[in-house]
Amino acid sequence: MTYPDPDDPAHPARPSVRPFLQSGPQSAGGYRPAPREEVPPATDPTATLRPFVITSGRTDGADPEIGIETQVTVNPAANRVRLSPEMRAIVGLCAEPVSVAEISARLRLHLGVTRILVGDLRAAGQLDVHVLDNDTPDPETIMRVIRGLRAIT
């Protein structure tokens, strides 16, 4: 139930009519407040919920250390704090080491959004983000991948 705003210059309140009497045509003695012109919500079919609403509009500022394959785990020492539903869902997935890309896919969250939220959770001490020491892969690691691939049939 909405009452007309008495301060609205377009629809000034009648001084003699009490607001609760304006609730219906019967109780208000036949008085009907002029219907407000409602602005129809934008119906752009491509724009359901803008994904970056969840990040309060931030599209940038994702931690460059957090790559799409970076492994994330729950920080077991973290204090329980109130988190947004998306953040709670992320923390819930990270009992086992999981990549940022997997979090994004499982929660159907945009990858950019996921990176920002994981960065926030890391800053808040809720998640451990396992950043690699060296950016470029070393020959020993590549050799292990080669041996591992050769072993599969």
Partner 1 sequence: MDYEQSPNRAYGAAAVGNEGRPKKAPVPVKIIVAGGFGVGKTTTVGAISEISPLTTEAEMTSASVGIDNPGQASLKTTTTIAMDFGVLTIDQTLKLYIFGTPGQSRFAFMWDDLIKGALGALVVVDTNRIDDCYPAVDYFEKAGLPFVVGVNTFNGQMQYSLDEVRWALAVREDVPVLAYDARFKASVRDALLVVLDQALDKAIRQKAT
Query: Largest Cα–Cα distance of the chain, in whole Å?
Result: 88
Q: Cβ of residue 92: shortest distance to partner 1, in angstroms?
A: 13
Q: Cβ of residue 25: shortest distance to partner 1, in angstroms?
A: 49
Q: Cβ of residue 30: shortest distance to partner 1, in angstroms?
A: 54
Give per-residue burial for 55-79: e unless 16+ CB within 10 Å, then b: beeeeeebbeebbeebbbebbeeee
Asked if residue 63 binds partner 1 (CB under 8 A), the reply is no
Site residues (CB under 8 A) for partner 1, limited to 26-55:
none
| Cβ contacts of 46 within 8 Å, gap of 6 or more | none
Q: Cβ of residue 127: shortest distance to partner 1, in angstroms?
A: 11
Asked if residue 21 binds partner 1 (CB under 8 A), the reply is no
Span from 8-16, 30-38, 68-76, 118-126 in contact with partner 1 (CB under 8 A):
68-76
Among 89, 93, 101, 124, binds partner 1 (CB under 8 A): 101
| Crossing angle (nearest 10°) for helices 85-93 and 100-107 | 120
Stretch (H or E) spanning 98: strand 98-99
